Amino acid sequence: MADTLQSAERAPLLEVVNLKKYFSVKTGLIRKTDLRAVDDVSFSIARGETLGIVGESGCGKTTLGRTVLRLTEPTSGDIRYEGESIIGRDMKEYRKKMQIVFQDPYASLDPRKTVSDIIGEAMDIQKMYPDKAVRREKILELMRLVGLNAQFYNRFPHEFSGGQRQRIGIARALAVNPGFIVCDEPVSALDVSIQAQIINMLEDLQAETGITYLFIAHDLAVVRHISTRIGVMYLGHMVELTGSRELYERPLHPYTQMLLSAIPVANPDLSAAKKRMKLEGEIPSPLNPPSGCPFRTRCPRASARCREQMPPLTEVEAGHSVACHML
């Protein structure tokens, strides 16, 4: 609770207001339907904080991350960075402030470029270090920072393991000294042992530079470890948003409760005692979402009201917002 209050006091670095991203998808010979990847999502992130976003695959969390950076244009809504809206602006200046780390360490590095070119590209685009020697020094410094040996300077991505590639990707994002990084499932393609290394590195970087993260993942354990606050997404909607300890100790939304109960517990005694709530049914198609509350088709507590009305995300306690009629 304490950290939640603290973060609320600080001025938000990033504010997302009623963000929507619809994709037009061909569903018939001529007919088109909107795919609501992100539907009316609002949140804010304080400076130096990490907001975790969790949800099943296809819930729109990756789209959310990319839309926040305007890598895909939002359908509507507003994104404010340091209090100023970035919609309709030339992004070049913001590309220095907001960066992204990708999920797939293989596809996210240009196979034809060397490590130094990959890390240095942003510096070249932003014309940060016209002096070659300075540029080189900066690149080597970044490589040291993310734990890459200096002798890898001229190597190609295919010579590296997944974990090392992810370090390159992080160094690339850090090259412009951004204040904010979207981490789009940065560890889910890695081995578990490597995952911890990368997560710890991200935490160390945050401690050192005060950088702010939007951390997207489907693995609750990972998100819990790194996040200050956590938002839970379901079918493009934010259904619960609160401090990370609060979320694990007192989840309020039935979907969050089900997600948490699905985490296996190592201790068999505890495991037996734990009440399991099974998450039944399939996630509905985002092309044809249920009316009212998106979760009502799988919700044990769903009522008639859930069918008719979409519950808004409301703050039920200080720093704890839930979108559910049944509370």
Minimum separation from the CB atom of position 299 to another protein (A): 31
Q: How many CB atoms lie within 10 A of CB 313?
A: 20
Question: 77 with 20: CB under 8 angstroms?
Answer: yes
Which of 315, 294, 316 lies closest to 306, judged by CA? 294
Q: Least separation, in Å, of the C-beta of 24 and another protein?
A: 11
Instruction: Determine the Cα–Cα distance for residues 97 and 237; give it in Å rounded to an integer.
Output: 27
- What amino acid is encoded at 89 in this protein? R
Query: Shortest distance, CB of residue 107 to another protein, whole angstroms?
Result: 4
- For tokens 């702010």, what's the residue? 212
Number of neighbouring beta carbons within 10 Å of residue 201: 17
> Of the two residues 99 and 321, which places its CB atom closer to another protein in the complex?
99
Residue 149 or 291: the one with the smaller Cβ distance to another protein is 149
Q: Are 13 and 45 in contact (CB under 8 A)?
A: yes
Complex with another protein: residue 29 or 270, whichever CB lies closer: 29
Q: How far is the CB of 31 from another protein (least distance, A)?
A: 11
Instruction: Give me 84's structure tokens.
Output: 């100023």
CB nearer another protein, residue 182 or residue 202: 182
Helices (H) and strands (E) in the chain, counts: 11, 12
Q: Rounded to the nearest whole angstrom, what is the least distance from the CB of residue 121 to another protein in the complex?
A: 6
Q: Give min distance, CB of 155 to another protein, in A.
A: 6
Return residues touching another protein (CB under 8 A). 28-29, 66, 69, 71, 91-92, 95-96, 99-100, 102-104, 106-112, 121-122, 125-126, 154-156, 158-159, 169, 172, 176
Q: How far is the CB of 271 from another protein (least distance, A)?
A: 34
Of 164 and 321, the one with the shorter C-beta distance to another protein is 164
Of 175 and 324, which CB lies nearer to another protein in the complex structure?
175
**How near is the Cβ of 188 to another protein at its closest, in Å?**
13
Residue closer to another protein, measured from CB, 86 or 238: 86
Phi then psi dihedrals of residue 13, to 5 deg: -80, -45
**Tally of residues, the chain:** 327
Partners of 282 in beta bridges: none
Q: Which residues is 17 bridged to in the sheet?
A: 78
Q: In this structure, are strands 12-26 and 76-81 parallel, antiparallel, or unpaired?
A: antiparallel
- Judged by CB, which is closer to another protein: 20, or 96? 96
Contacts of 156 (CB under 8 A, 6+ apart): 111, 112, 113, 114, 115
Phi, psi values for residue 67, rounded to 5°: -70, -35
